[in-house]
């Protein structure tokens, strides 16, 4: 299960079932399920009904041959154990990272800052291979490989390339295309990312802040596993450049949001990029932010 759905979800289900057994023994399971906004079903019968009043009935449905299926949307997870005889056990729970991780936002914010500062990158995967020319779309003096979008087309995972004089495909790294180059550095394990420093102002729970200086390579390595990365650019005048980066954890439905302000000269001359980080934002909260962009061209609101 840990391989299929990730450590966080697997650990939560194990912890939730152990706690449920203890609460049932004390006669307090129904209030606990209501507190967590969780639902249990055995053969589609809800817990607490006359036909399902013992958690052991549901747990005994699970065995080595059971098929496990996990589905979710932005608000709810549904974990199902299904058998060939049509028996089943179901656990529904909120897609709430505090519940799933068993920690509140203050603790998670503090731990994230410590982990980012102390992270030693040991990438497991080699750099992404260059794409074939036939999957690229032509841009203005460069080539675009279309990625996925997050809520709006302008927040995406596009990557950018150019052709060498001999016709070879190369990652775009060009001061004339600073925005596209910056986007590439969040996706491509480029040696230049080691030389680019990020001065991060981390805005945490309770209006607390923390500041630290790390390399761009260290940041992207930290969010390399378990997160999808999306980048958008605010409407700014040259040579100013403002990017908004989302690191989206699809397992627990939260995002970390980084705003990067720089000039092309800093990006290409080993400068320091000013950044602002907001962490552990629920997915459904992010969807409300993009109206600001449609009205003003600003992806990052003044206040969250």
- Give tens-digit pLDDT for 144-191: 999 999 888 889 999 999 988 888 888 999 888 999 999 999 998 788
Minimum mean pLDDT among 82-86, 99-103, 265-269: which range?
265-269
Say if residue 205 is exposed, middle or buried (CB neighbours under 10 Å; 0-12, 13-18, 19+).
Answer: middle
pLDDT at residue 98, as a whole number: 87
User: What mean pLDDT, rounded, does the chain reach?
Assistant: 87
Main-chain phi, psi angles of 227, to 5 degrees: -130, 145
Query: Pick the residue with more confidence: 239 or 170?
Result: 170
Both tokens of 227, joined, read 């997160």
Beta bridge partners of 263: 240
How high is the pLDDT of residue 240?
A: 84
Distance, in Å, from the CA atom of 3 to the CA atom of 10, rounded to the nearest integer, reads 9
Q: 183, 49, 191: which is closest to 123 by C-alpha?
A: 191
Chain Cα centroid distance, residue 127: 20
Average pLDDT score over residue span 245-262 = 90
For the chain, first and last CA: distance in Å? 35
> Which residue reads 């607490």 in tokens?
48
Bridge partners (DSSP) of residue 80 are 69, 90
């Amino acid at each position: 299960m840990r391989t299929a759905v990730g450590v966080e979800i697997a650990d939560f289900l194990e912890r939730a079932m152990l706690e449920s057994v203890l609460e049932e023994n004390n006669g307090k399971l129904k209030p606990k399920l209501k507190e967590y906004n969780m639902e249990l079903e055995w053969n589609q019968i809800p817990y607490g009904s006359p036909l399902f009043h013992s958690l052991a009935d549901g747990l005994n449905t699970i065995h080595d041959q059971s098929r496990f299926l996990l589905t979710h949307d932005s608000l709810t997870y549904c974990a199902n154990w299904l058998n060939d005889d049509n028996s089943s056990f179901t656990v529904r729970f909120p897609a709430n990272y505090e519940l799933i991780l068993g920690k509140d936002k203050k603790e998670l914010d503090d731990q994230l800052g410590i982990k980012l500062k102390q992270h030693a990158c040991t990438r497991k995967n080699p750099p992404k291979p260059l794409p074939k020319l036939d999957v690229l779309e032509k841009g203005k003096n460069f080539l675009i490989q279309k990625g996925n979008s997050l809520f709006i087309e302008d927040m995406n995972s596009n990557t950018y390339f150019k052709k060498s004089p001999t016709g070879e495909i190369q990652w775009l790294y060009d001061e004339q295309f600073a925005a596209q180059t910056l986007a590439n550095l969040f996706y491509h394990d480029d040696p230049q990312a080691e030389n680019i420093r990020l001065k991060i102002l981390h805005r945490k729970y309770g209006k607390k802040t923390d500041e630290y200086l790390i390399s761009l390579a260290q940041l992207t390595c930290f969010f390399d596993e378990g997160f999808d990365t999306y980048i958008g650019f605010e409407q700014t005048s040259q040579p100013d450049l403002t990017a908004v980066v989302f690191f989206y954890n699809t397992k627990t439905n939260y995002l970390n949001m980084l705003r990067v302000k720089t000039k092309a000269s800093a990006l290409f001359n080993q400068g320091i990029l000013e950044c602002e980080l907001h962490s552990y934002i629920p997915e459904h909260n992010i969807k409300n932010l993009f109206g600001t962009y449609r009205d003003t061209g600003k992806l990052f609101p003044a206040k969250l």
